[in-house]
Amino acid sequence: MFQTTKLFRKVISVGICAAIGFTGLGFGQAGTAEAATPKTNKIIKTGAKYLGVKYRFGAPSGVTYAFDCSSFTQFIFKKNGIYLPRTSRAQAAKGIRVSKANLSKGDLVFFKSPGRSGIGHVAVYAGYGKILHAAGKSVKFSKLSSSYWKKNYVTARRVVKHYA
């Protein structure tokens, strides 16, 4: 009986140490790249209220009858107390760079436009491989892994502080 108890304690101790070690190394943390804060969840929720609103290139700041990509991100972030510049190119200079593998909800994701140089589109990473943006005909969710967005991906920036 004593041998079994001692063995059981060792197995549990090793398991706990392994879990702590893996967590410290970034392994075993389900959803690390999907991390969200109340503020980032609120940003996505704010943006989702405008699903289906018409896309219009050059839509003015502050209106809700139509958005272009950067007026949309500027609007939903401002509603949540974060002020962004008007253009996607200027927004790409804000915050800190984030690798594609470490995207979190609320991160700004930037793309090039075919036939143009530099940043031409901005979206908000919504988690679970989706982006929320004004593109095509309206505000919508799209898969970041779709061939178009994958091919034109440039960078991502974190403008909302994430606290541990």
Q: Which residues are CB-neighbours of 97 under 8 A, at least 6 positions away? A: 155, 156, 157, 158
Distance CA 63, CA 55 (A): 12
Q: Which residues are CB-neighbours of 71 under 8 A, at least 6 positions away? A: 59, 60, 61, 62, 63, 86, 134
Judge whether 69 counts as a catalytic residue: yes
Look at strands 130-135 and 96-97 and give their pairing: unpaired
Catalytic residue (one of 36, 119, 121, 149): 121
Least Cα distance to 127 among 27, 37, 4 occurs for 37
Catalytic residue (one of 69, 119, 131, 132): 69
Catalytic residue (one of 130, 133, 140, 158): 133
Judge whether 17 counts as a catalytic residue: no
Give the three-class secondary structure for 95.
coil
Judge whether 162 counts as a catalytic residue: no
> Known catalytic residues?
69, 121, 133
